[in-house]
């Protein structure tokens, strides 16, 4: 039997070795889900909603235990683990409130004995291959609306957040979701690959651009609905009329929260030349106040780097920036082991020939670049193949709208950053992905709108 070893990234210690899935078990689970799905879809929505309400109760009841588990296996600071779980509750409420309205049947034409109607049917059996950085958010963004709309879900949590993934399954099963309707799969990329070989009706993936490409290739021949939520290189522009200190405090948090391991972490900052020096000073002062240390400790802000290979990516971006003349203002080194640590790192005087301004850092590393005006900021913000989020800090709403309407990104922010709302669609442009989650569209995406043409007999 194969096993999956789960380590604590803050200490390197083995937490547990779990029995893992293999090709045969994945196939058997997929077949069971296929057989079970029609009955689940035939239940009244109220019955499926009752299961999700029970899940919410379980999350609230077990919150401390769930936060501790997530912190242990991902290195996320404990306060941020609690924040993620508390932030999940309004998402659950949104899905509970909005599903009925989002998938209600519609009559769109009714004249002369001819009626046209749209009816939302579940896709059927969907695969959810997920990331570790916000495992409750990214897992539940798919699982909850997919279940509510009548689908079965084959869910492969990241190998770096499997205990959390299994907790999501436990709480949903305890709340009444049948075991063949939400099926957890344990393992790494090879189990994800085995899942893609099953007859599924949709593939919903959250993860890196490189894996997204592999997944698109694997399912490309099969005409299966495919959604890819990938990385970003999220830029923000600080205009000369913004308060540099307030902007710096907000953006330091946006860059370093979750140890910089958020898909919408601020990854590039452009500052108008008139406020550049004041901004950079305030930014460095704020980041200096962030304490790196034991993720279980209440005053830790910078936790462990979850995946050890990312340390090499960060070190290479630092070396490249230094070699090309960037100014290192803070950090720049790996922390001492055991475990995976990297200091909060700030560069100024960067430019787009440097890797840290082009490719996702996914860690506590940020570059700040001076710009002459709004046009240069827009040009640089768009100088990327990613397009997840982008922001601007200015007192002037019209100026913000002018800038943001020119930026190619799925989400845009005025005087805020690193923010996700269940009410708004979450999507990427370009290499940041295809499809969307959240909002009413992120509920409808788990359905197939069927067109009914109904003519009354004369
Ligand atoms: P990853 O691509 O390494 O892994 C994601 C998942 O894919 C894991 O479950 C993994 O086991 C699985 N996998 C790996 N190889 C596979 C294969 N060949 N076939 C099938 N499955 C395979 O990504 P990660 O490190 O877990 O997540 C970090 C990335 O996710 C970052 O780039 C981040 O920006 C992105 N992300 C995006 C969003 C978003 O909403 N756009 C949200 C969170 C994270």
* Other Cβ atoms within 10 Å of 336 Cβ, number: 7
| Per-residue model confidence (pLDDT) at position 337 | 87
Rounded to 5°, the CA angle 194-199-201 comes to 115
Q: Measured from the CA of 229, which atom of ligand 1 is nearest?
A: 41
Query: Beta strand pairing status for 125-129 and 202-206?
Result: parallel
Q: Is 53 a catalytic residue?
A: no
C-alpha dihedral, 355 to 360 to 363 to 364, nearest 10°: 60
In short, whether 21's Cβ falls inside 6 Å of ligand 1 is: no
**211 Cα nearest atom in ligand 1:** 2
Distance CA 129, CA 116 (A): 36
Strands 268-272 and 365-371: parallel
Check: CB of residue 79 under 8 Å from CB of residue 165.
no
Ligand 1 centre distance from Cα of residue 207 (Å): 2
**Which residue's CA lies nearest to atom 17 of ligand 1?**
189
Q: What are the CA-CA distances from residue 410 to residues 87, 145, 261, 420, 437 (Å)?
A: 21, 20, 19, 11, 11
Domain boundaries, the chain: 3-229+431-455, 234-419
CA of 396 to the centre of ligand 1 (A): 37
| 387 phi and psi angles, rounded to 5 deg | -160, 60
Q: What are phi and psi of 167, to 5 degrees?
A: -70, -40
Ligand 1 pocket: which of 207, 215, 230, 312 to mutate (most atoms within 8 A of CB): 207
Ligand 1 atom nearest to 231, measured from its CA: 34
CA distance linking residue 167 with residue 55, whole number of Å: 11
Both tokens assigned to 212 = 């997204």
Q: Determine the atom of ligand 1 nearest the C-alpha atom of 130.
A: 9
With a 6 A CB cut-off, is 74 part of the ligand 1 pocket?
no
pLDDT of residue 1: 78
Considering only CA atoms, which residue is closest to atom 26 of ligand 1?
A: 131
Q: Atom of ligand 1 at shortest distance to CA of 428?
A: 41
pTM over 0.95: yes
Is the CB of 193 inside a 6 Å radius of any atom of ligand 1? yes
**Residue 425 Cβ contacting ligand 1 at under 6 Å:** no
CA torsion angle for 391, 84, 446, 421 (degrees, to 10)?
-30
Q: Is the CB of 362 under 6 A from ligand 1?
A: yes
CATH C-level class of 234-419:
alpha beta
HSE-up of 377 (CA within 13 Å, CB side)?
Answer: 31
Please tell me the distance between residue 433's alpha carbon and the centre of ligand 1 in angstroms: 12
Tell me which of 167, 229, 343, 360 is the catalytic residue: 229
Whether 233 contacts 386, CB under 8 Å: yes
CATH class of the domain comprising 3-229+431-455? alpha beta
User: Is residue 207 lining ligand 1, measured as CB closer than 6 Å?
Assistant: yes
| Stretches in the chain below the pLDDT threshold 50 | none
Distance CA 219, CA 197 (A): 8
Protein residue closest via CA to atom 19 of ligand 1: 193
Looking only at the bridges linking them, the beta strands covering 225-229 and 433-434 are antiparallel
- Ligand 1, atom 4, lies closest to the CA of 207
CA distance readout (Å), 41 to 101, 193, 213, 356: 17, 27, 31, 47
Contact 75, 9 (CB under 8 A): yes
CA dist 369 and 405 (Å) reads 21
CB of 159 closer than 8 Å to CB of 18:
no
Determine whether the shortest distance from the Cβ of 189 to ligand 1 is under 6 A.
yes
Nearest-angstrom CA–CA distance, 198 and 188:
16
Comparing CA positions, the residue from 448, 387, 414, 17 lying closest to residue 6 is: 17
Q: Confirm or reject: Cβ of 429 under 6 Å from ligand 1.
A: no
- Provide the strand spans (E) within 350-455: 365-371, 386-387, 389-393, 411-414, 426-427, 429-430, 433-434, 436-437, 447-455
For tokens 């940041």, the residue is 432
Q: How remote is the CA of residue 46 from the centroid of ligand 1, in Å?
A: 33
pLDDT digits (tens, 9 = 90+) for 123-146: 999 999 999 999 999 999 999 999
Q: Do domains 3-229+431-455 and 234-419 have the same CATH topology?
A: no
- 306: CA distance to ligand 1 center in Å? 13
432 contacts 230 by C-beta, under 8 angstroms = yes
Please give the pLDDT value at position 99: 98
Strand partners, 450: 119
Q: Which of 166, 208, 261, 422, when mutated, tests ligand 1's pocket best, judged by the most ligand atoms within 8 Å of its CB?
A: 208
**Bond prior to 338 in cis (omega within 30° of 0):** yes
Give the ligand 1 atom nearest the CA of 160. 26
Ligand 1: atom nearest CA of 159 is 11
Which two structure tokens, joined as six digits, stand for 89? 């509750």
Structure tokens at 289: 């106040």
Q: Which two tokens stand for residue 124?
A: 């059927």
Best CA proximity match to 334, nearest among 361, 315, 352, 353:
315
Q: Report which DSSP code applies to 4.
A: E
First vs last Cα of the chain: how many Å apart? Answer: 66
The residue contributing the CA closest to ligand 1 atom 12 is 189
Q: Whose CA is nearest to atom 22 of ligand 1?
A: 189
**346, β-bridge pairs:** 330, 366
């Amino acid at each position: 039997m194969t096993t999956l070893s789960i380590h604590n990234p803050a200490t390197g210690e083995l937490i547990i070795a779990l029995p893992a899935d293999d090709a045969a078990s994945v196939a058997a689970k997929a077949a069971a889900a296929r057989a079970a799905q029609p009955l689940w879809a035939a239940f009244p929505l109220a019955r499926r909603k009752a299961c999700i309400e029970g899940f919410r109760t379980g999350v609230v009841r077990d919150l401390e235990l769930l936060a501790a588990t997530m912190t242990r296996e991902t290195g996320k600071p404990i306060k941020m683990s609690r924040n993620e779980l508390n932030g999940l509750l309004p998402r659950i409420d949104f899905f509970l409130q909005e599903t009925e309205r989002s998938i209600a049947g519609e009559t769109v034409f009714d004249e002369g004995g001819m009626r046209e109607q749209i009816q939302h049917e579940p896709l059927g059996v969907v695969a959810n291959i997920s990331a570790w950085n916000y495992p409750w958010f990214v897992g539940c963004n798919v699982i909850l609306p997919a279940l509510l709309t009548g689908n079965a879900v084959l869910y492969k949590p990241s190998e770096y957040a499997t205990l959390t993934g299994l907790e999501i399954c436990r709480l949903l099963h305890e709340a009444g979701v049948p075991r063949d309707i939400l099926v957890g799969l344990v393992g790494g990329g090879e189990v994800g690959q085995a899942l893609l070989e099953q007859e599924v009706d949709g593939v919903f993936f959250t993860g890196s651009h490189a894996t997204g490409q592999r997944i698109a290739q694997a399912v490309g021949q099969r005409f299966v609905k495919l959604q890819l939520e990938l990385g970003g290189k999220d830029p923000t522009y600080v205009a000369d009329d913004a308060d540099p200190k307030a902007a710096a405090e907000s953006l330091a948090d946006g860059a370093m929260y979750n140890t910089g391991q958020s898909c919408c972490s601020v990854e590039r900052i452009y500052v108008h030349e008139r406020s550049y020096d004041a901004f950079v000073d305030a930014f460095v002062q704020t980041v200096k106040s962030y304490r790196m240390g034991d993720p279980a400790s209440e005053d830790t802000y910078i936790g462990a780097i979850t995946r050890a290979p990312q340390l090499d990516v960060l070190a290479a971006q630092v070396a490249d920036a230094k070699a090309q003349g960037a100014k290192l203002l803070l950090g720049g080194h790996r922390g001492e082991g055991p475990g995976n640590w990297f200091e909060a790192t700030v560069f100024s005087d960067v430019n787009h020939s440097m890797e840290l301004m082009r490719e996702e850092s996914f860690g506590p590393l940020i570059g700040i670049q001076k710009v002459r005006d709004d046009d240069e900021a827009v040009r640089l913000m768009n100088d990327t193949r990613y397009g997840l989020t982008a922001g601007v800090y200015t007192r002037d709403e019209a100026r913000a709208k002018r800038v943001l309407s020119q930026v190619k990104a799925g989400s845009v922010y005025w005087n805020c950053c690193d923010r996700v709302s269940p009410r708004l669609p979450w999507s990427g442009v370009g290499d940041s992905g295809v499809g969307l989650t959240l909002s009413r569209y992120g509920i409808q995406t788990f359905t197939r709108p069927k067109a009914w043409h109904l003519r009354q007999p004369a």
